[in-house]
Amino acid sequence: MQRPRKLQNFEIAVVGLGNLLLGDEGFGVHFIRYLKTFHSLPPSVELIDGGCLGLRILDLFREKKALIVVDFLLAKSPPGTIKTLSWEEIK
């Protein structure tokens, strides 16, 4: 028998961050909602609406094989740029 999804040990966490009241700033949250609604992901992937909690919640996912954070930020890179960061760079 398979354990309920919320009790499984997820290997990958996808965390969407952002404030829904601030337009583009809510992108990460909207992205997670989109994935939950329109896509079926493998059982090893956990989708998390991190809301306005920001980077403070990332330590909760330190034991994951992979952590994908979707957020809006002001940068000199073009929109849609993907950045790979170490834990030290996030802190």
DSSP-derived letter for residue 63 is T
- Give the separation between CA 69 and CA 14, rounded to whole angstroms: 6
Q: Say how many C-beta atoms besides its own lie within 10 A of residue 64's C-beta.
A: 17
Its pTM stands at: 0.77
User: What is the chain's length?
Assistant: 91
Which residues make Cβ contacts (< 8 Å) with residue 47, sequence separation at least 6? 14, 16, 32, 35, 36, 41
CATH tag, 7-90: 3.40.50.1450
Closest C-alpha among 34, 36, 24 to residue 80: 24
Q: How does pLDDT run across 29-55, given as a tens digit for each residue?
A: 999 999 999 999 999 999 999 988 877
Q: How does pLDDT run across 7-35, given as a tens digit for each residue?
A: 457 889 999 998 888 766 788 999 999 99
